[in-house]
Amino acid sequence: MKKLIYAGLALALFAVTSCSKDYDNYPEPEETLTGSVVDSETGEGIQTEAGGNGTRIRLDELSYSDNPTPYYFYSMQDGTFNNNKIFKGHYRVSVEGPFVPLLQTDASGNVTVDNRKELDINGTTNVQFEVEPFLNVEWVGEPVYNAADSTVTVQARFTRGTSNPNFQQNITDVYLYVNFLPYVGNNYRVDRLSTQVSYSGDTAPVGETITLTSSNKLDQHRDYYLRVGARISYGQNWYNYTTVKKLTIP
Amino acid sequence: MKLKKYILFAVLTICFTACRKLDLPPPNVVQDPDVFTTEPGIRAYMARVYSGLPVEDFRYSPRGMNDFWLVNPMPANTGEALSRDLNGATSENFEYFQMAYPQIRDINYFIQTLPQYANNYTEDQVKNWLGEAHFLRAFTYYALVKRYGGVPLVDRVLNYPDETIEDLQLPRESEEAIWDFIATDLDFAIENMGEENQVGRANKWVAAALKSRAMLHAGSIAKYNQVSLFDGQKRVCGVPAAKANTYFKAAYDAAKMLDGKYSLYKESWSATDKEAQYQNFVDLFFDEDSPENIFVRQYHYPESAHGYDAYNVPRQLMGANGYSAEVNPTLNFVELFDGFPKNANGTIKTLDNNGDYVLYDNTMEIFADAEPRLRASVVLPGDIMKGQSIEIRRGIYTGAVAGGISKLVPESSTSPYPTTNIVSASNLAENLANPYTLPNGDKMTPAGLSGYFTADGTGAVSGFSVRKYIDPDRATADVLENRSDQTWIEIRYAEVLLNLAEAAYELDAAGQNDNNYLQDAFTAINQIRERAGATLLATAADLNNVDIVRNERRKELAFENKIWWDLKRWRILDKEQNGTVYRVLMPFYAAQAGKYFLDARLDQRNSRYTFDVRWYYQQIPNSVISRDPKIIQNPGY
């Protein structure tokens, strides 16, 4: 019996002492990285989708290793980003999305362009990337609600956002996205309302005003969020987007 | 003195005998000489390597390889079919990467060790086995490169701990280097192997057939791939476009080698009899002596079995495990074929000129002249399987028929059918319990015995069921999981002809004229079409679009787990699957007319397919990268 008590006490002692008060010996990740990805010409944020195939920020913590495992997070759909749980350190920061890539190589792998940034993240660090979008997609006028058949018609236009011939692949399609929420894009859309127009070869009407109509009836008395996206056949086939427009149906 | 001698003698005796004993290899571990000095030993070694070969057969699905539970069938991922258990585009959910390298090590060990025991065999035997090992290695690297692009190239046995971990952490090789390595290994195999081998093992022609497949794949990547990823100077994703013709040429030459060695299966074929052509195409997958079989994987119950029949038979032939109808061919797939009325845009025509449904005496009437290969690949509604008419009916239309029945739902709609005037069933039990009384007093179940059931999806959700590879003679009592043992045909001659046609077409399109490529493509396509009972191409000039070659492949090789890779290497899957809903054909019985009509529409389950372009190069498992930080991840992951 006594033996058992001693054993129990020893176990308890071991359990208590082996438990450290700190979780680990690293400071918590509490630095903040904010910033935006903007069009180098207009200074406006590059519209993208939230998550999925949207703009993604890549961090390589060079103060940890020369070849660290990359850390990724996504920007918001207006091209801004904000992450307040980052370890203090020296980083290489880059972004990838529907714009001319920051890191380019020639056919044999030599780096020809490297616009990635190296910086210390300490406190609140702001970083801005000026890039050339593949396409500029913009609204032409306001969306029109067709009361007769409860559809919505929009007009938009897309033009090349870069003069770099390596990123002027054919435009494959343009899409009118309709959603019930302000998050709208290729990954958040109502399928029965959204409309896609595909182009084969290089037949896409660059620079012309195009008219798109939702593919089914919209419900009465509710809000819809509209956006037009177009894409070229490059990389992950990211879409470039217009801003989001809200449509209230009476 | 004498004593000293004795002591010395004793010491020596102990030493020598003891030492000899310690030198003995452990008798309970199989040693190299046990394996490599006898033919059965070699056969056993080979059997193990073959069993781990990445053959995408009855036990392959996005869930895994060599995995028995085949309820997420690959054809339901490509637009060939719909399934209740796979309702959207997916990439593979398992990590082949880790499965490949132990296999490669076994093969490298064989290649390195066999020459030490070569004096036990004839020179031909040794050459043959070494060739076979190179074939197996190429097969394994092909499975890697088509998934991941460039991977670490290991062509010898890595020795740990003689070499340090750091030295053994290999970076990725360029994708081009892996394709070239596969070609080199296969050339070695073709050169060194004999023309004969056991069934299920490779010979030199098998190596040539695999070469035609792999090089066609490489050429397609060179021509159509847009993705580029460099690790230093090595392009680990993507192949220079300039290599396309080299690879297509290699595919063409390799396919040509099989000329006259194999032939299309035509045992019960007749030029004039569509029924015979149909039966011939069904039999092709079951004749063990088929001259079309190039490389097969055999199964034998109970040692090694699969459940293809159990998972895929139509609902009314379901076995005791309770599975059925996992592969339901889409109308999009059926519409690739000819022999039934079509609209100008190629879709099936089931409406008359007023936009009302055409009425038929039975559901097979419209398919009376369908291409025999279609009937042999797909169970059409009302067609016969295992002596039963496979009854597929969406429901009974009870409304008025005078003046015609207009389309129930619009063509582009995924909304459910209206509930007025339509009787349907949610599952088989309810279906049997609630027969509908027809105007003449007869009873009829709302749905067919094989579906469509609105709730449980166990029936034909597309209006069709798969026929290819379903054993026509298997009794329903034997339609069980892990009970089927039909042979999987991994490479058949039809594929080689299609490889030839595609490579030749691409070479012709690229302006190569050292052979009459277009004529060769034309001949190959027509050979396939003739056996299938399809309409022949009139002249080589009619072969004016790559889709003619590709569609022939889709029709011929459907449900054989090949099409997903084809759609990927053509880099068209992201365009085909972009919020895509596939089409289905729903047969109804119009009670007032006593006739059937067919409704072509979008899948009412609203299963949407969107292929993520990142999947052209699959994700390298993170655990691999954490073990070997020199490996860089593919784009987008």
Q: Predicted confidence band at B415 (pLDDT cuts at 50, 70, 90)? A: confident
- CB-CB: which of B230, B414, B629 is closest to A109? B230
Phi first, then psi: give them for residue B137, nearest 5 degrees.
-65, -40
Chain A contact set for B545 (CB, 8 A): none
Residue A233, domain CATH: 2.60.40.2060
pLDDT at A50: 87
* Co-location of A243 and A150 in the same domain: yes
Portion of chain B with pLDDT greater than 70, in percent: 97
pLDDT digit string (tens) for B272-290?
999 999 999 999 999 999 9
Q: Give the tokens for residue A116.
A: 């990635």
Q: Using the predicted structure, report yes or no on whether residue B19 has a pLDDT greater than 70.
A: no
Distances (CA, A) of B325 to B82, B308, B328, B487: 10, 10, 6, 20
Q: What angle do CA B536, B371, B447 make, to 5 degrees?
A: 160
Residue A77: inside a domain? yes
Q: Predicted confidence band at A16 (pLDDT cuts at 50, 70, 90)? A: low
B621: cis peptide before it, omega within 30°? no
> What angle separates helix B493-509 from helix B244-256, to the nearest 10 degrees?
140
Q: Using the predicted structure, report yes or no on whether residue A179 has a pLDDT greater than 60.
A: yes
Contact (CB, 8 A) for A238 and A97: yes
pLDDT digit string (tens) for B58-116?
999 999 998 888 889 999 999 999 999 998 999 999 999 999 999 999 999 999 999 99
Q: Which of B599, B216, B177 is nearest to B393 (CA)?
A: B599
Smallest CA–CA distance, residue A210 to chain B, in Å, is 21
Residue, of B123 and A108, whose pLDDT is higher: B123
How far, in Å, CA of B207 to CA of B128, rounded?
12
Q: Using the predicted structure, report yes or no on whether residue B222 has a pLDDT greater than 90.
A: yes
Distances (CA, A) of B488 to A78, B2, B80, B270, B312: 52, 78, 19, 25, 15
Phi first, then psi: give them for residue A210, nearest 5 degrees.
-115, 150
Looking at residues A164-188, what average pLDDT do you find? Answer: 93
* Co-location of A56 and A120 in the same domain: yes
Q: Is the dihedral of CA A130, A132, A137, A142 positive or negative?
A: positive
How far, in Å, CA of B227 to CA of B568, rounded?
13
pLDDT at A19: 55
Nearest CA in chain B to A195: B579
pLDDT at A191: 84
Nearest CA in chain A to B581: A191
pLDDT at B566: 98
Amino acid identity for residue B123 in this structure: E
Tell me the DSSP string of B217-281.
Answer: HHHHHHHH----EEETTEEEE---GGGHHHHHHHHHHHHHTTBTTB----TT--TT-HHHHHHHH
Residue A117, domain CATH: 2.60.40.1120
pLDDT digit string (tens) for A200-234?
888 999 999 999 999 888 988 999 999 999 999 88
Pairwise CB contact (< 8 Å): B579 & A67: no
- CB-CB: which of A109, A189, A236 is closest to B233? A109
Among B169, B224, B230, B616, which would you mutate to test the A interface (most chain A Cβ atoms within 10 Å of its Cβ)? Answer: B230
How far, in Å, CA of A126 to CA of B112, rounded?
57
Tell me the DSSP string of B371-382.
Answer: -HHHHHHEE-TT
Count CB neighbours of A15 within 10 A. Answer: 9
Pairwise CB contact (< 8 Å): A236 & B235: no
How far, in Å, CA of A208 to CA of A200, rounded?
17
Predicted model pTM: 0.90
pLDDT digit string (tens) for B507-550?
999 999 999 999 999 999 999 999 999 999 999 999 999 999 99
* Co-location of A155 and A240 in the same domain: yes
Chain B contact set for A107 (CB, 8 A): 240
Q: Which residue among A131, A149, A170 closes a domain?
A: A131
- C-alpha B45: how far from its chain's center? 26
Q: Using the predicted structure, report yes or no on whether residue B456 has a pLDDT greater than 90.
A: no
pLDDT digit string (tens) for B561-611?
999 999 999 999 998 998 899 999 999 999 999 999 999 999 998 899 999
* Co-location of A140 and A242 in the same domain: yes
Strand pairing of A31-39 and A124-131?
Answer: parallel
- CB-CB: which of B227, B608, B630 is closest to A191? B608
Pairwise CB contact (< 8 Å): A235 & B226: yes
Q: Which of B260, B200, B256, B268 is nearest to B55 (CA)?
A: B200
Q: Using the predicted structure, report yes or no on whether residue B26 has a pLDDT greater than 90.
A: no
Would you state the torsion angle of the CA atoms of residues B283, B287, B293, B298, taken in this order, to the nearest 10 degrees? 120
Pairwise CB contact (< 8 Å): B629 & A69: yes
Distances (CA, A) of A55 to A115, A176, B134: 16, 20, 44
Nearest CA in chain B to A66: B629
Strand pairing of A71-74 and A56-61?
Answer: antiparallel
Pairwise CB contact (< 8 Å): B613 & A70: no
Nearest CA in chain B to A52: B612
Residues pairing with A209 in the sheet: A157
Nearest CA in chain A to B629: A67
- CB-CB: which of B227, B575, B629 is closest to A67? B629
ipTM: 0.78
Side-chain half-sphere of B174: how many Cα atoms within 13 Å? 16
Among B87, B173, B228, which would you mutate to test the A interface (most chain A Cβ atoms within 10 Å of its Cβ)? Answer: B228
**Mean pLDDT of all residues belonging to chain A:** 90
- CB-CB: which of A69, A172, A234 is closest to B625? A69
Q: Is A141 left (phi over 0), alpha (psi -120 to 50) or beta?
A: left
* Co-location of A165 and A202 in the same domain: yes
- CB-CB: which of A105, A109, A237 is closest to B613? A237
Nearby residues of B52 by Cβ (< 8 Å), 6 or more positions away: B66, B99, B102, B103, B106
Sketch out chain B's domains with CATH numbers.
32-59+95-261+615-627 (1.25.40.390), 275-489+581-595 (no CATH)
Portion of chain A with pLDDT greater than 70, in percent: 91
Q: Which residue among A98, A131, A164 closes a domain?
A: A131
Distances (CA, A) of B109 to B46, B103, B314, B452: 12, 10, 46, 54
Domain of residue A65 covers 31-131
Nearest CA in chain A to B575: A172
Residue A145: inside a domain? yes
Residue A107: inside a domain? yes
Residue A207: inside a domain? yes
